[in-house]
Amino acid sequence: MEKKMMYMFVLSVIVTLTCVEPAFSCTYSRNRKHQLVAHCENQGLTSVPRNLNRDIQELILSNNLISILKNNSFINYTRLEILRLTKNKISDIHEDAFAGLNSLKVLKVNDNLISITILPQDVFIHLNALIVLDISRNKKHLNEDSQFIYPDATFSRLERLQNLSIDLFMFPVFGSGFIKLQNLNVLNFDKCYLRNSSGFRLWNATFENFSSNLQQLYISGCRHFFQMEYGCMEHFPNLKVLDLSESYVHLYQALRILHPYQNKNMSVINFHHITDNSINGDDFPGAVVITVELMKYLRTICIEALDISKTGIVDYQQNSLFSFKYPECFTTFIISANKLPTTTSDHYIEVIKFAKNAKNMKVYDFSYFISIADNPNLAYLNVYDPEAFYQFSKKTQKIEVHPQIQISLPSSIEFLRFSYTNDLLHSASITCANTSLKYLDVSFSVFLKFPDLTNGCGKQLEYLDVSGIPVTEVTLPSVTLPKLYTFKMTNARLDQAVLKGKQWIEFTAPEIRNIDISFNNLWNLETSTFIGQPHITHLNMSNNLFRTIPSFVTRLKKLESLDLSSNLITNIDSQLMLWMDEMTLSNRSLHLNFDNNAFICSCDTLDFLLWFSQTKVTFYNGDTYNCTIHDKPAVLREVIQNTNKYFSDCKSTMWLHVGIVLVASTFCILIPLIVIYNYRWMIILCIYRKVRRAVEKGLHESYMYDAYVSYEDRSVAWIKNFLLPKFEGEWGLKVCLHDRDILPGDLTADAKAESIQKSRHFVFVITEQFTEGKWGRFEIERAVYEKYTTNLRKIIVILQNIQVKDIPEEIVNISNDVCFIELPLDENEIYDKRYSQSTWLKLKALFYLN
């Protein structure tokens, strides 16, 4: 009897364990309305869990593996108001799957495998309180040449529905059942499959069964051209938002369908990128010219926000594009990435008149009006929330002006992008009386005279970008910018201002936090730099020529991020190491980026290496930093982990140095007179050489060229494609090439000799056939002569696919005085890109580290 009872007990336990649902790690929280939320996303669930808290009002089941919603799947959660089933594998929904969800207001089943045509007719019958339904991005209709009949009887159950997101298929038919959706305010075709094939177009009757009370219509992302009948919007007379962005319908069509909205108010018209390069025909050309006829509907609408960026506009008739009947309605106007004309005064005057009359404007974006408009990485504003851009990437605003015309910005303006403008014929003066201007970007602009800005422009300014404009042309007044938070001045040749002792930041900005002065060829900055900006938290000085970290950074007590990547830093001194540790210990999160520098691993930098291995300072990509050890590249972390291997002789070397110093000191003390007498001429010569080098250093500008390059014909393409872009493009060196810089009429030998004499360094590009050329040996002999008789500093030999035995004998004879660099003739042969980068960096150091 006992055995039988034991058997029954074990059996009951097994049955219990097999019948209980597996326990998943769902968590709970409260949303903004203090409703209980169950988080079951990313759990690998294959069915709806039934053992959750029954009081939940929001259930998140996104990113799981649910494929079927069976009847009564949610019967336990009658208080549920929000249900998210996004990104599952749902392909089948049973008729009573949503039974019990009488309070549900939001249902999201987007990004699944649902075919809406086979949904049960009464699948939504229990959702009589549903307001928002997202069933978009589901199974694609395969037959694009036949009608797609939307299940209107199924959707007709949702009489309270206000927001519907659904896919838009070819030849759509919205039946009479949609008439019952009289509360529908928002219709969003989130995924669009329309294209210009099989005679398709959006007919006037396509939307006839939708409610005339619709407020917002989104037909965006149709990345194929398709045609629209001009009356297709007549069924939405009360529309406030029309969004056709990224749908290639062409601007001509979009402007013509606006006739139902003449003299009405609209919140947003978004026509961003509705004309594409793929569209170019007689009726719909790729180059759009705006006429008065095309603007006859748009100009009469009272619009708050208009986006016609990247629509292919290349020209416009007078009294068309900027001749709005109600300019005072505008708060946002975006017309970037077009190619508007900049040649006539009429164009300037129309823009200025519009800017003056748009007295409530907050956001002007007249950017990317030059060739960069084809760049796919441009940063566009969001017409619905332009302030989301306010954290800010950089770029552009453009407004062309008539000579000596003054532009008065409306007092409401907050955002102005004025960059990537090319106008060599005109200048402008911008007046900012009582403006709310927060964002001003005039970067990478070229003017006859840089725009003058009145003092009022800076009172509310938070972001200022003057990048790409030589510092000699920037006329920023010496004023206080009390709210300036971010300042960018990249690619502005600040090195020239430092060299000439010119102040390049004259305004006062006590609250500034972010400063970017990268790409300026800077090698040093005074200790007084940024002395009036004590609150800096982010400082970017990357892509310059710093050999050491500027000492002024130790005064920036609130610094959180310092970017000195892509410089020539070889070491970090003890004072800066101490400062970094103190910043970290004071609980300040200091992030440093020293990637792509010229660190040296040697006995002299051992203190830095040991500190780097122990410090708690955060280095961006610190594990990938490289250094040079014994003239070879190495990974800094690997060197640090093997200090005994690489630096075992450092202490013995130190004692050897001490011994040598003691012996030398004793020798100098015991027989100074003998040494002076016996080596008097050598001492005099040594002193003379040092004085001469100092004088030569002071006469740096007497050299016409930084380098004379000797080469044979096989190297011409490599020099053009790789060497010159580095020397002259990136490093700013002046190079002499005999094919380019020596005039044909000159005596070649004399001209070459004179060019070599006027060059600071000499570069040989040696290949197997180098000495077979007409001038190879002559240039070698002349370089040797200049090396030992005049001021030539270095002879640099670049070896290209050549063996040691094939190096010219004249070079071998002076090999102790020559710097050798190996670079392949074909850059595609380089397999170790990191080694190639290090080789170029070493070559760069040879020019800058004299």
Per DSSP, the residues of 399-428 read ----TTPEEE--TT--EEE--S-EESS---
Which range among 137-151, 262-276, 429-443 shows the weakest confidence by mean pLDDT?
A: 429-443
Mean per-residue pLDDT for 639-663? 68
Structure tokens at 664: 């030398």
CB neighbours of 67 closer than 8 A, spacing ≥ 6?
A: 46, 88, 89, 90, 91, 92, 113
Mean per-residue pLDDT for 47-65? 95
Residue 703 has pLDDT above 90, yes or no: no
Cα 462 to Cα 199: distance, rounded to the nearest angstrom: 53
Q: What angle do CA 739, 741, 743 make, to 5 degrees?
A: 85
Mean per-residue pLDDT for 660-684? 63
Q: What angle do CA 139, 140, 145 make, to 5 degrees?
A: 150
Which range among 2-6, 259-263, 565-569, 809-813 shows the weakest confidence by mean pLDDT?
A: 2-6
* Three-class DSSP category at 846: helix
Residue 721 has pLDDT above 60, yes or no: yes
Residue 705 has pLDDT above 70, yes or no: yes
* pLDDT at residue 679, rounded to an integer: 58
Nearest Cα to Cα of residue 54 among 28, 34, 22? 28
Which range among 166-175, 477-486, 556-565, 634-643 shows the weakest confidence by mean pLDDT?
A: 477-486
Q: What is the pLDDT of residues 356-365, one digit of tens each?
A: 888 888 888 8
Pair 311, 251: CB distance under 8 Å = yes
DSSP 85-109: --SS---EE-TTTTTT-TT--EEE-
Which range among 177-186, 245-254, 529-538, 821-830 shows the weakest confidence by mean pLDDT?
A: 821-830
HSE-CB at 830 with a 13 A cutoff on CA atoms is 16
* Three-class DSSP category at 496: helix
* Identity of the highest mean pLDDT range in 249-253, 488-492, 708-712, 716-720: 249-253
CB neighbours of 47 closer than 8 A, spacing ≥ 6?
A: 66, 68, 70, 73
CB neighbours of 785 closer than 8 A, spacing ≥ 6?
A: none
> Please, what is the average pLDDT of the chain?
81
Mean per-residue pLDDT for 199-224? 93
* pLDDT at residue 617, rounded to an integer: 87
* Identity of the highest mean pLDDT range in 414-423, 470-479, 796-805: 796-805
Q: Which residues of 124-134 are buried (b: 16+ CB within 10 A; e: fewer)?
A: bebbeebbbbb
CB neighbours of 304 closer than 8 A, spacing ≥ 6?
A: 266, 267, 268, 329, 330, 331, 332
Structure tokens at 470: 């030589």
Pair 430, 456: CB distance under 8 Å = no
Nearest Cα to Cα of residue 312 among 278, 346, 358? 278
pLDDT band at 404 (very low <50, low <70, confident <90, very high): very low
Q: What is the pLDDT of residues 304-320, one digit of tens each?
A: 999 999 999 988 888 89
CA distance from start to end of the chain = 100
Residue 175 has pLDDT above 90, yes or no: yes
DSSP 244-276: -TT----HHHHHHTTGGGTT-EEEEEE-TT-S-
* pLDDT at residue 236, rounded to an integer: 96
Mean per-residue pLDDT for 688-702? 54
Residue 702 has pLDDT above 90, yes or no: no
Residue 496 has pLDDT above 90, yes or no: no
Cα 830 to Cα 778: distance, rounded to the nearest angstrom: 32
* pLDDT at residue 517, rounded to an integer: 92
Structure tokens at 424: 């060599």
Mean per-residue pLDDT for 530-553? 90
Mean per-residue pLDDT for 57-67? 96
Residue 771 has pLDDT above 90, yes or no: no
* pLDDT at residue 756, rounded to an integer: 82
Cα 81 to Cα 617: distance, rounded to the nearest angstrom: 48
pLDDT band at 658 (very low <50, low <70, confident <90, very high): low
* pLDDT at residue 394, rounded to an integer: 35
Global pTM?
0.63
Nearest Cα to Cα of residue 711 among 761, 791, 667, 768? 768
Residue 804 has pLDDT above 70, yes or no: no
* pLDDT at residue 177, rounded to an integer: 94
CB neighbours of 526 closer than 8 A, spacing ≥ 6?
A: 552
Which range among 73-82, 144-153, 666-675 shows the weakest confidence by mean pLDDT?
A: 666-675
Question: Look-up: residue for tokens 């949609």?
Answer: 178
* Alpha helix ranges (H) inside 99-146: none
pLDDT band at 796 (very low <50, low <70, confident <90, very high): confident
* Identity of the highest mean pLDDT range in 6-15, 109-118, 493-502, 576-585: 109-118
Pairwise pLDDT comparison (770 vs 455), residue with the higher score: 770
* pLDDT at residue 713, rounded to an integer: 80
Write a three-state SS string for 500-547: CCCCCCCCECCCCCEEECCCCCCCCCCCCCCCCCCCCCEEECCCCCCC
DSSP state of 362: -
Structure tokens at 757: 């004499």
Pair 363, 331: CB distance under 8 Å = yes
DSSP state of 157: T
Cα 842 to Cα 568: distance, rounded to the nearest angstrom: 10
Structure tokens at 607: 């203190």
Pairwise pLDDT comparison (577 vs 837), residue with the higher score: 577
HSE-CB at 442 with a 13 A cutoff on CA atoms is 22
* pLDDT at residue 687, rounded to an integer: 58
CB neighbours of 155 closer than 8 A, spacing ≥ 6?
A: 124, 161, 164, 177, 178, 181
* pLDDT at residue 757, rounded to an integer: 80
Mean per-residue pLDDT for 236-263? 95
Length of the chain: 850
CB neighbours of 25 closer than 8 A, spacing ≥ 6?
A: 43
- What's the order of all strands across the beta sheet hosting 406-408? 406-408, 429-431, 452-453
Cα 178 to Cα 198: distance, rounded to the nearest angstrom: 26
Which sign, positive or negative, has the C-alpha torsion 540, 542, 543, 546? Answer: positive
* pLDDT at residue 16, rounded to an integer: 39
Residue 24 has pLDDT above 50, yes or no: yes
* pLDDT at residue 505, rounded to an integer: 75
* Three-class DSSP category at 689: helix
* Three-class DSSP category at 811: helix
Nearest Cα to Cα of residue 242 among 218, 272, 273, 278? 218
Give percent of the chain with pLDDT exceeding 90.
Answer: 38
DSSP state of 186: E
Cα 379 to Cα 441: distance, rounded to the nearest angstrom: 13
Residue 402 has pLDDT above 50, yes or no: no
Q: What is the pLDDT of residues 366-396, one digit of tens each?
A: 777 665 545 555 667 776 776 655 444 433 3
CB neighbours of 801 closer than 8 A, spacing ≥ 6?
A: 767, 768, 824, 825
